[in-house]
A and B are shown apart, each in its own frame.
Chain A
Amino acid sequence: GDSVTQMEGPVTLSEEAFLTINCTYTATGYPSLFWYVQYPGEGLQLLLKATKADDKGSNKGFEATYRKETTSFHLEKGSVQVSDSAVYFCALSDGAAGNKLTFGGGTRVLVKP
């Protein structure tokens, strides 16, 4: 079945540092890939998405590129802020498997001033 694996946290960074969160996936079809962010005590917010190979999703300084050859969708941000502290979830939606989202385990990011 489909699965998503992302690096375990917590990831602790200083403000303005570079952030990378690795995400790899397995899927039977041609999935769409997503990054969702969950701030403390809140729901899931869509951060960015990519629907086909080599697509790059970007939002709020975050980027991720859909790499079919390495089945990866790593999240990057060049200069993090304290307000980026949250839990980040990589997820896929596989049309061949009913379009439900399959999530990775989440990565907690803590940015210190």
Chain B
Amino acid sequence: AAGVIQSPRHLIKEKRETATLKCYPIPRHDTVYWYQQGPGQDPQFLISFYEKMQSDKGSIPDRFSAQQFSDYHSELNMSSLELGDSALYFCASSHSTTIKQETQYFGPGTRLLVL
């Protein structure tokens, strides 16, 4: 079965640079979530999109922005990178129903290292 695809898998950037992470959800999934997992920590919710509109916002820095496109893929744009942004960034997708959101399925993550 098709899974969530994230690219790139690994990324190395310098401080103050920008980075763009991409997420391709499972086919027919209409909701995308972004999470950040610092070293040895649990994943923290950043932001989510449903049908190309932002649906929820968590602890996402103002330096970060994201969007969901017409083909449902999503991009997380990170500017003015800081050392503390080094983390594993997960994308998850789900197919919503009128009753309840379905299970979120995670991609393999993008490991970002800021030097």
Instruction: Report whether A93 and B45 are in contact in the complex, using a CB–CB cutoff of 8 Å.
Output: no
In residues 73-115 of chain B, which contact A (Cβ within 8 Å)?
A: 90, 92, 94, 96, 100-101, 103-109
A45 to B90, CA, bound (A): 12
At the interface, yes or no: B20 with Cβ under 8 Å from chain A? no
**How many A residues touch B, CB cutoff 8 Å?**
22
Interface residues as binary, A24-41 with B (CB distance below 8 Å gives 1, 0 otherwise): 000000001010100000
In residues 5-63 of chain B, which contact A (Cβ within 8 Å)?
A: 31, 33, 35, 41-45, 48, 55-56, 58
**Which residue of the partner chain B has the closest CB to A6?**
B42
**Which residue of the partner chain A has the closest CB to B50?**
A99
Question: In the complex, which of the residues A32, A95, A101 contacts B45, with contact meaning CB atoms closer than 8 Å?
Answer: A101
Main secondary structure of the interface of A (DSSP, over half): strand
Instruction: Report whether B104 and A101 are in contact in the complex, using a CB–CB cutoff of 8 Å.
Output: yes
Instruction: Report whether B103 and A95 are in contact in the complex, using a CB–CB cutoff of 8 Å.
Output: no
Instruction: Report whether B45 and A43 are in contact in the complex, using a CB–CB cutoff of 8 Å.
Output: no
Instruction: Report whether B55 and A98 are in contact in the complex, using a CB–CB cutoff of 8 Å.
Output: yes
Instruction: Report whether A49 and B101 are in contact in the complex, using a CB–CB cutoff of 8 Å.
Output: no
Residues of B contacting A36 in the complex (Cβ-Cβ under 8 angstroms)? 106
Closest 6 A/B residue pairs (Cβ): A98-B56, A103-B42, A99-B101, A44-B106, A100-B45, A43-B108
Q: A45-B106, A49-B103 are in contact. List 20 more A-B contacts (CB 8 A).
A: A34-B103, A42-B108, A43-B90, A43-B107, A44-B92, A44-B106, A89-B43, A93-B101, A95-B101, A99-B94, A99-B96, A100-B48, A100-B58, A101-B33, A101-B104, A102-B45, A103-B44, A104-B42, A105-B42, A106-B41
